[in-house]
Structure 1
Amino acid sequence: MASTQRSAPRHRSSPVPAKPSSGDCPSDRTMVPVDRALRLILAEGTTRALEYVALDRAGGRILGLPIVAQRAAPARDASAMDGYAVRNGDLIADWNALTVIGESFAGHGYAGGPLPTGSAVRIFTGAPVPEGFDRVILQEDVRHMGSQVLVPHPRAEKRHIRRAGSDFAAGDLLVDAPAALTPARLVAAAAADIAEVAVFARPKVMVVATGDELRAPGVDTLRPDMIPESVSLGVAELARSFGGDVTTHPRLPDDLGQLQGAAAGMLDKADIVVIIGGASVGDRDFSRAMFERAGLSLQFSKVLMRPGKPVWFGTARDTCILGLPGNPTAAMITARLFLAPLVAAMAGREAQTAIDWRTRPLAEGLEANGEFECFLGARLIAGAASASANRDSSAQRALAAIEVLIRRPPHAPAAAAGDPVETLEF
């Protein structure tokens, strides 16, 4: 896909496993285990080009080039407190009468000329310390006497001055790449006088729902043979949350000619195309066939898992294509397991950040598992995972309550309350 980004060096590779040889790619009829499916997907997940974005739009993006300070901070000696700037050498007695000759504010330093012996300048936090002064006396420690202040002899070494370059110097490395631009890192970049940063371009993700029975929510859905199309909304938001630049394609009918006609345009506009529905074995399941004329290279056609067995993945013209089941729970679980890490990797993140499995105890027991790896939606109760009683892959009310996924290996024995299980934030 042609890049539209500003000129910048491309990242040499993404933090994912090397692409497998063609001999490692399964045939169309082979079901692959979940972990192998993920490896095949991530092998295609190279990062995008770099682009420069303004700092106020860079939050959450992944830094592609280090942030290096363009100036020192502070640029000159500055007061750390409100008070009076003085010469330490003028403070020889228990109390010292000094003449106040001016003021220094942040952004408007003292500009009054020479600073005679025995003088002081009223100063405020962040204001530049006049040249030659080397201490700030806190305002609550002085006594006022007309145009003079009585300043006590300092009892501590602390001088309440932030020295020039004490935070960082020009040329210092502040944030190395790659790194997520957190709020705190944005503060550091701005303090370094940087207006824009080089970040990995967000992968362009197109989400497409297919099916004659689908209508937009609230439109013509009172007909009993029509249903509101819901899954694309969840899949699109999931992709955005992991760094994708997402667009939603208009819903497409189960018509192979229309699907094939739309496929070419999708591949021209997206780094990842997500097709929802049409991934089973019915007479009108065309999700893979629609890309065959574009040179679809299928990596796998099914995965040894439930729910979500019909999920498939391939590439065409350098675009990744992920086919999700049409059932909502199955679609969202497979998107969480496969789309999220792919988008994260292509956006410059470590793919592992999207698939961070954590051990938690079970709130209630679970029956023995069958031959397929199983993923159960669950809520968290006092830190323990409580599996949903409704495991129908088309259920949407139960889907709304899911907080984590429970991972159950093939042929796992029955588990009791308190037993540890692997869980993933959902």
Structure 2
Amino acid sequence: MISFDQAAAIVSNAARPLGNERVPIGEVHRRVLAEPVIARVNSPPSDVSAMDGYAVREEDLRQLPARLRVIGESFAGSGFGGGVSPGSCARIFTGAPVPKGADRVVIQEVVRREDDVAIIGEHPGAAKHIRVRGSDFQKGDSLVEAGTRLGYRQLVAAAGADLSDVVVRRRPTALILGTGDELAAPGSAAGKPGAIPESVSFGVAALAEDWGALVNERIHLPDDLKAMELAAARALKLADLIVVTGGASVGEKDFAKAMFENQGLELLFSKVAIKPGKPVWLGRVKGKLVMGLPGNPTSALVTARLLLAPLVAGLSGLDPQSALRWRKAPLLASLPACGDRETFVRARAVHESVEPTASQDSSAQKTLVEANLLVRRRPGAPSAETGEAVWVLDF
């Protein structure tokens, strides 16, 4: 049995990106850039107005009031084809090209219009209200660095750079295998004596997707080794990552590892000295990664957050450690001394503080609704009192 830090290091080493692909920009939200976004155009492409108003020559404002003849209009996407000469101006709108000869825009609020004459009674101030060509970025500029996970802000910059597609890391495909004779599909358990709704695979699949995986399937398997071996062989053909839930303890029907043995399972670790989640394991089979999670819901999701999240993040092209950003927060209630296993206490954020949840049962499901933090407690740590700062991780 290894420590959590050792397990996290093994996960980080195993979590290598799976290659690149070019993808249309409309389909890359939350994907990880493999190559930087390089602008193909200047932004703005020409000097443009920052306000609605009149494009004028500064020279014509030396003597006020100024009466300037309006000789045309400039709209965004269809500029005024002529130029502004002495004694003239052009009506202009936000984002429209500034006509030749004009060197400032006077906002419409300080201009009085009489037919085709614009009257400027007082000097409009220092601001010229012109966005200079390339003032945002210039052709050839690097706007978004490789390794960035693309969010809505980065997508605006990439589209504004005139890119129809970008090169991103390939998303790891994942397949979830839930094991247990006692499990029934949600909606059907009430009519089956002894059955409980299968819930873990839904949470695990969602967590994997949050961190960048493309979940192909969620499959429930009975505790039958032959059937499980067939499912394992199929899963290895369909996914880069297989996640098995349940069947990882020491019971007579715990076949989570055994189902992969005839495929050449190489265990990277088989148990981790943590609570909850000691049975978690990681292996490699035919170049594919297999992670086994406990069957109890809270144990499964805690270990998935601690070890599956960095694994998927790394396979997606992120730094695996980006999934393990611990920070300190003060306790709102005391915690008892920690036992001989590193313990991750479920808690909830209350403003800037952290409050442990009432239930720490590894099979709890209701508590998961309110628990949005994990508190890290080192083996043998003494009791922690109210107000003491502890290490926490978003859960």
**TM-score when normalising by structure 1:** 0.89
The Cα shift of 1:60 comes to 2.0
Unaligned runs of 5+ in 1: 1-30
Alpha-carbon distance in 2 for matches of 1:190, 1:341: 29
- The equivalent residue for 2:280 is 311
Quote the Cα distance in structure 2 between the aligned partners of 1:220 and 1:99: 81
CA RMSD of aligned residues (A): 1.7
Give 2:80's aligned residue: 110
Structure 2 residue corresponding to 1:274, chosen from 243, 246, 261: 243
CA deviation string 1:324-375 (max 9, x = no partner): 1111111111111100111111111122221111222222222222211111
Partners of 1:382 and 1:80 lie apart in 2 by 40
Alpha-carbon separation, structure 1, partners of 2:104 and 2:387: 62
Contact 2:43 2:135 in 1 (8 A): yes
1:219-368 matches, within 5 Å, as: 219-368=188-337
1:90 aligns with 2:68: no
Q: Quick one: distance in 2 between partners of 1:327 and 1:155?
A: 70
Q: SS where residue 76 of structure 1 aligns?
A: coil
When residues 120 and 232 of structure 1 are mapped into structure 2, their CA distance, relative to the original with a 3 A threshold, is: same
Between stretches 198-207 and 146-155, larger displacement belongs to 146-155
Give the 3 Å change call, closer, same or farther, for CA 395–142 of structure 1 in structure 2: closer
Paired residues for 1:5-404 under 5 Å = 31-111=1-81, 113=82, 115-152=84-121, 154=123, 156-404=125-373
CA–CA separation in structure 2 for the residues paired with 1:205 and 1:282: 27
Q: Identify which range, 31-40 or 177-186, moves more after superposition.
A: 177-186
Query: Residues of 1 paired with 2:105 and 2:354: CA distance?
Result: 58
Aligned length, in residue pairs: 395
TM-score (norm 2): 0.95
Deviations 1:94-124 (A, max 9, x none): 222221111111111113x465432211111
Classify 1:88/1:364 alpha carbon distance in 2 versus 1 (closer, same or farther; 3 Å).
closer
Deviation for aligned residue 1:88: 2.4
Between 1:179-188 and 1:277-286, the stretch displaced more is 179-188
1:92/1:153 contact within 8 Å kept: no
Q: Deviations over 1:231-278 (max 9, x none)?
A: 000111111111111133321111111111111211121111100011
Q: Partners in 2 of 1:413 and 1:115 — Cα distance? A: 79
Residues 89, 293 of structure 1: alpha-carbon distance in 2 compared, 3 angstrom cutoff? same
Report the CA distance shift for 1:381/1:72 in structure 2 as closer, same or farther (over 3 A): closer
Amino acid in the other structure paired with 1:205: A
Paired letter, 2:33: L
SS of the aligned residue for 2:71 comes to strand
SS of the equivalent of 2:8 reads: helix
Q: Which runs of 5+ in 2 are unaligned?
A: none
Q: 1:144 to 1:364 in 2, by over 3 A?
A: closer
The 10-residue stretch of structure 1 (58-67 or 288-297) with the greater mean CA deviation from structure 2? 58-67
